[in-house]
Structure 1
Amino acid sequence: MPNTEFSSENDADQRPEAGAVPGPGSLNGTRRAAITALAEAVQPVSDELGARFASHGQQLALVGGPVRDALLGRRSNDVDLTTDAVPSRILELVDGWADSVWTVGIEFGTVGLRKGGHQLEITTYRSESYSPKSRKPDVAYGTDIHDDLFRRDFTVNAMAVRLPELEFVDPFGGLADLEAGVLRTPGRPEDSFSDDPLRIMRAVRFAAQLGFTLAPEVAEAARGMADRLSIVSAERVRDELTKLMVSPDPRRGIELMVDLGIAEYVLPEIPGLRLEIDEHHRHKDVYEHSLTVLDQALDLERSRGHEPDLVLRLAALLHDVGKPKTREFEGGGRVTFHHHEVVGASMSRKRLTALRFPKDVVSDVSTLVGLHLRFHGYGKGEWTDSAVRRYARDAGSQLERLHILTRADCTTRNRRKAAALSKAYDDIERRIGKLAEQEELDRIRPDLDGNEIQEVLGLSPGPVVGKAYRFMLELRLENGPMGKEEAAAELRAWAAEHL
């Protein structure tokens, strides 16, 4: 067991820069208990590994997110540690103790390892910075934990717990900012964002994830330096955007991105919506409408018992991005956006590909954007069984997400109209469910496969078989399942006319 007697290191005289925000003093009982619980949760890391480093004259501390989350009463799956030992020394010290070790990040000073059920990262005290045109950070090692904490992104992540003695280290007032719900940088935000411009994205991500506000100087620096994001790799930007989108309040992060000019370098299609009036004139612009759809998609996602869904949330945010390119003005002040779903699907695919999202995410989001208006052809309930089959088949694996997106896209304040739309969609879902029980809609195939088509028509493999297959598929969608004999008769009749 680690020693649970605390000291709280918060010596202003040891700060690397005068004027850093002073810390809050010693931890209260609740905070002490949180740190003790964190140490117990990561055993044997907190006692065995801490003692191992200490016995060889090296420092080791829990740092960053795990400490922050423990003080917030949140569970964290991360175990991040920092040390004055250089990577080669870390490897020596964990040899024979760790179950496995990997060195993928060793050029950046990080050694990964596994011990029991814990996956750890140990990083040498360091400094990271970008040259003006670099996409990768330069790394220099340090020897003092205060210097290391000073170079971290925000004060709430610049707190540490020394191991094995559980000494709380907070030289820049991180605990006070944590309690105030404010994001500040240990030093000047301009210096912090210059060292690693991705921290601009992290600021809005933490705002969405933790419900924090940005200190005025942090917001101003982010606004003035947003263009620096252009030197950061698309993969790193994508990872931050992903974390933002699956946070409890992605709207908060998106609004900050737009207001601070960050979105222009990440998702420029979103601020481009602000001046576009939506076709129903129910919101002051399509931007506000899109954020409302995102909020409503989250509510439906939760009410249906789903985990945070990146694909659904991206589709909700991007579903109307095709409107600016398709806007037309007609008589009587009417504005139309014909085929904006088709244009929007293409734009979504292009943007998400540029951000290096996985191919399945790109495909699924663009499919949903392309289908989000399909329901509005349903009208007052006149869809045939054939139309319902096509709706389900075209949605495929995205059907549940399409249900949520379509419902979320109803933002009218007219209660009667909203109720009518909800009732109509209830009917769609009911009919899909009923037909699915009968026909396995998600796996609709023609009644005759390619080999059977060739046999019935006496054909060899070739384009004509594909043409016949497509006819049989349309027949299946139109009429539902048929027997083999009836399907063969229909195929022969079609062939007599078309072949």
Structure 2
Amino acid sequence: MPNPNEDTPSALSQAQQRAVTELLRVAPVADDLARRFQEAGFSLALVGGSVRDALLGRLGNDLDFTTDARPEDVLKIVRPWADAVWEVGIAFGTVGANKGARVGDTDMNFQIEITTYRSEAYDRTSRKPEVSYGDSIEEDLVRRDFTVNAMAVALPEKEFIDPYGGLEDLAARVLRTPGTPGTPEESFSDDPLRMMRAARFAAQLDFEVAPEVVAAMTDMAERIEIVSAERVRDELNKLILSDHPRKGLTLLVGTGLADHVLPELPALRLESDEHHRHKDVYEHTLIVLEQAIALEENGPDLSLRLAALLHDIGKPRTRRFEKDGRVSFHHHEVVGAKMTKKRMTALKYSNELVKDVSRLVELHLRFHGYGTGEWTDSAVRRYVRDAGPLLERLHKLTRSDCTTRNKRKAATLSRAYDGLEDRIAQLQEQEELDSIRPDLDGNQIMEILGVSPGPVIGKAYKFLLELRLENGPMEHDAAVAALKEWWAGQE
């Protein structure tokens, strides 16, 4: 791959060397596919994020290509070669494929997308971009979001194509839009989601965003409302699941984009004065998110991260200035859970994820009634029952919610939660808390009471569950006696 600039700093040369190494690794697949396009009279190039990641030494199994072949021609070339082909994005010029290949001593599975040279833009009202095909790779690259994603490697020759200085920006770790001066506004007008992508890439790559790009994001923030909730959600997820989510979230808030996609976050910047001092809720939230990330054990956890980000969004609505000068946020967890459900539903999250995150927000304060261990076993059982399968996440969220600088207070809270977890473990060993249920099931209840299915069975079941939570496991005869005594009181 030739050096595009003899005076390029050594950091750039090293990046190119890394790219060569990465490209050689995927060559069995990439070159084979490129030769098929050549034989059919078309060009093929590795492009965008794949080239960027190759230069960073982190190219994975997802490969993006661009070509002058139209989608119908791409299908003819790819179908006999790939293990599977899909046409979900064909209206936008993209054909997807799956290809297994032997790379060295390893069997690998490659996810491939091949997109025809194109340009796309939104009109002022449509949520769907209009796509038109181009005839040159330079046309294709200039319509891409950032210079670091506007590089290509022509195959199989391995010719490096970088008309907009992406390599230098990659070395400088900066995000700029390709093309002539003034292009951020043009780029974001063409596709407003690119503003979200700027924040996402800043968080994923730990890059800075060029001042002119930040200015355009600020001036055009409301334009994001033309983009569908699903696309916004997907970018937000990638940002939140990144290594540096604070960086992206801070950019969203600072530019005003968050006012349109997640307004509950900037609303946490509550004003304070010398008479009504309280914790900076916005800063506290970002710290809680970072502390929750530090507790993750099996990779990024979207449910936990969203719960950490949203756990205090009920505070602005519940803030009260008390007569003694304190500030209170009574029941902010209940209000916050409702707000969480509303926002996540608007962003088209799945019902299951909405339910889980809302529940974590609702429960995040429950531990603070524990004190130094005053809860009864019954209260511990209810804590476990109410958390259900979210218990481990609730442990992490609750621990992360301690951001006090008072080391003694932080140590006391940590010891208290250690004690609660120990008690939960002891009770789980004794009583199988993870599957708390009444000592009698529905069929037994009907048989003992001599009744048919109906509302009364649910009431009896609820009574026995409360008894189980209060007293722990009961012997069968004792449970039967308690049920009969309750039934007698119903008549």
TM superposition score category, shorter chain reference: over 0.9
State how far apart, in whole Å, the 2-side matches of 1:56 and 1:242 are. Answer: 39
The equivalent residue for 1:199 is 194
The equivalent residue for 1:381 is 373
Find out whether 1:330 has 2:322 as its counterpart. yes
Aligned-residue CA RMSD (Å): 2.0
The equivalent residue for 1:184 is 176
Map Cα deviations across residues 367-386 of structure 1 (whole Å, 9 max, x no partner).
00000000001012111111
The equivalent residue for 2:304 is 312
Map Cα deviations across residues 63-105 of structure 1 (whole Å, 9 max, x no partner).
1111111111224232000001111111122242222221111
State how far apart, in whole Å, the 2-side matches of 1:147 and 1:9 are. Answer: 19
Find out whether 1:238 has 2:233 as its counterpart. yes
Task: Work out whether residues 9 and 167 of structure 1, in 8 Å CA contact, stay in contact via their aligned partners in 2.
Answer: no
Q: Which among 134, 141, 149 is matched to residue 141 of structure 2?
A: 149
Q: Which among 197, 203, 212 is matched to residue 207 of structure 2?
A: 212
Find out whether 1:105 has 2:100 as its counterpart. no
Change (3 A) 1:282 1:389: farther
Q: Which among 47, 53, 63 is matched to residue 79 of structure 1?
A: 63
TM-score w.r.t. length of structure 2: 0.94
Map Cα deviations across residues 89-143 of structure 1 (whole Å, 9 max, x no partner).
1112224222222111111001111221212110000001000111011001011
Find out whether 1:415 has 2:382 as its counterpart. no
- Figure out how many residues of one structure are paired with residues of the other and give that number: 479
Task: Work out whether residues 148 and 175 of structure 2, in 8 Å CA contact, stay in contact via their aligned partners in 1.
Answer: yes
The equivalent residue for 1:249 is 244
Alignment of 1:244-393 (within 5 A): 244-275=239-270, 284-301=279-296, 305-393=297-385
Could you list the runs of 5+ residues in structure 1 that have no partner in the other structure?
Answer: 1-5, 12-22
State how far apart, in whole Å, the 1-side matches of 2:72 and 2:132 are. Answer: 15
Greater than 6 Å deviation, 4+ residue runs: none
Highest relative contact order (Cα 8 Å, sep 6+), 1 or 2? 1
Q: Which residue identity does 2:436 align to in structure 1?
A: I
Change (3 A) 1:283 1:298: farther
Map Cα deviations across residues 410-434 of structure 1 (whole Å, 9 max, x no partner).
1111111111100000011111111
Q: Which moved more, 1:450-459 or 1:393-402?
A: 450-459
Task: Work out whether residues 447 and 476 of structure 1, in 8 Å CA contact, stay in contact via their aligned partners in 2.
Answer: yes
Other structure's SS at 1:379 match? coil
Q: Which among 220, 231, 242 is matched to residue 225 of structure 1?
A: 220
The equivalent residue for 1:450 is 442
Change (3 A) 1:292 1:27: closer
The equivalent residue for 1:54 is 38
State how far apart, in whole Å, the 1-side matches of 2:16 and 2:416 are. Answer: 55
Find out whether 1:485 has 2:480 as its counterpart. no
Map Cα deviations across residues 176-219 of structure 1 (whole Å, 9 max, x no partner).
11111100000210011011000000000111111111100000
Other structure's SS at 1:398 match? helix
Task: Work out whether residues 283 and 289 of structure 1, in 8 Å CA contact, stay in contact via their aligned partners in 2.
Answer: no
Could you list the runs of 5+ residues in structure 2 that have no partner in the other structure?
Answer: 101-108
- State the identity %: 65
Map Cα deviations across residues 231-283 of structure 1 (whole Å, 9 max, x no partner).
000000000000000000111111111111010111001111101569xx886
